[in-house]
A and B are shown apart, each in its own frame.
Chain A
Amino acid sequence: MTIYANALDLIGDTPLVDVSSLSPKASVRILAKLEGQNPGGSVKDRVARAMVEEAEKDGTLSPGSVILEPSSGNTGIGLAMVCRVKGYRLKVVMPANVSEERRQLLGIWGAEIIDSPAAEGSNGAVRLAQRLVAEHPEYVFLYQYGNPANPGAHYEGTGPEIWRDCPEVTHFVAGLGTSGTLVGVGRFLKERNPAVEVWAIEPPAGELVDGLRNLDDGYIPPVFLDGGGPELLDRKTVIGPRDSIEWARRLLDVGIFAGISSGAAMAGAVRCARTVDQGVIVTVLPDGGWKYLSTGAWSGDLGEAAERARQTVYF
């Protein structure tokens, strides 16, 4: 057994598990990368550590620095863990309607939460964070949506891990939030094999963006545009809360307790499998199910659970 010097060294090198028994076709394998195995509980641990260490290297961060970051949850939690270990203060700007567990976890790690309007979703959190940083130039703004260390963590970590474990990969399917995973892994895999198809899965914008005043309040993360996202993606498809929850429940059949966005990724992998005759689909399951217990996603009627999920930011 390896003895790790520090819990942060546990970030990455997550397991890839064959979940092909859930594939609609015997000729199409589906492999799931379990990012919930990271020490802070999600794929965003990779991004949090990469952004902080990059900022330490270039001198943006120094002892006693205060970091401010917009996040619907997982990046905030990952940063809170990294900041706790490294001794930085953290303020997280978060939509008021994220799951209760996300708020609790941020508190446990010692981060301060600043609420942004629920009706404006993640876009509103980004806008409020940008305003606060303009008012407080002393805050360090790592800005996951525009920080090349975000896709960089996946280009240097997640992508090579997938290629090492499964060079037969034909399709890569992942959720689209900041686009860091898709841009970083997608670029790495296409450089190795240009025939690999990259599929982005997104939740329906639906009610969560009703607070937008006009479409100019829309938002495209700079890491997506700067990373060549529009050219990198082969398909972008919406998976709703009902399918997301159904597939989060079905993942239990293969021993995986994963979050709602993982259900969406799995549903996307299954949709992808239906369109091909044969292949090996790799998908990323961003986190475990623990943070979503209070949403009731696993209990009772699927339709009612989906309706509850519509009120919560889970991506």
Chain B
Amino acid sequence: MPVEVRLPTVLRAAAAGQASVKAQGATIGEVLGDLTSTYPEMAGQVLAPDGGLHRFVNVYVNDDDVRYLDKLDTKVGEDDVVSILPAVAGG
């Protein structure tokens, strides 16, 4: 099942400049796995060596940060939009 994945500017070069790509999977882990096998240059930027999320990366399903849902096991469906964003400060 293809899911739309929106990429931050810093990752677009690894996907031939695309701002949004399709990836397969029923969970965030599967979607990111498919994404990084299609675009191997992203692997080190999105995932940590232990297979978890890179600490400076936030991944959202629609508007919710998956770290506070079921992390990589968070389920996604065809109508969901996955967004990858860098962690930023405010204040």
Contact = CB atoms under 8 A, between A and B. Distances in A.
Contacts of A216: 56
B51 interface: no
B2 to A, nearest CB: 23
A39 interface: no
B88 to A, nearest CB: 5
B73 interface: no
A212 B10 CA distance: 7
Interface string A131-165: 00000000000001100000000000000000000
Interface size class of A (residues with CB under 8 A): 35 or more
Contacts of A288: none
A44 B55 CA distance: 27
B68 A126 contact: no
Contacts of B91: 44, 71-72, 74-75, 122, 144-145, 177-178, 180, 221, 315
A218 interface: yes
Interface residues of B, number: 24
A122 B88 contact: yes
B65 A236 contact: yes
B67 interface: yes
A123 B88 contact: yes
B49 interface: no
Contacts, number: 97
Given A210-B9, A215-B56, A205 B64 contact: no
Contacts of B57: 215, 218
A218 B68 contact: no
Contacts of A315: 90-91
Interface stretch (A53-61, A227-235, A249-257): A227-235
Contacts of A66: none
A176 B87 CA distance: 11
A235 B55 CA distance: 17
A217 B90 contact: no
B88 A208 contact: yes
Nearest to B42: A215
A274 B88 CA distance: 27
A137 to B, nearest CB: 23
A202 B90 CA distance: 9
A126 B86 contact: no
A219 B88 contact: yes
Contacts of A200: 68
B54 interface: yes
A233 B68 contact: yes
B56 A220 contact: yes
Contacts of B77: none
A126 to B, nearest CB: 6
Interface of B: 8-11, 45-46, 54-58, 60, 63-65, 67-68, 85-91
Given A71-B91, A200-B68, 5 more contacts: A121-B89, A218-B57, A219-B87, A220-B55, A236-B65
| A-B pairs, 10 with minimum CB distance | A177-B90, A218-B56, A236-B65, A178-B91, A315-B90, A177-B91, A218-B87, A218-B86, A122-B89, A238-B63
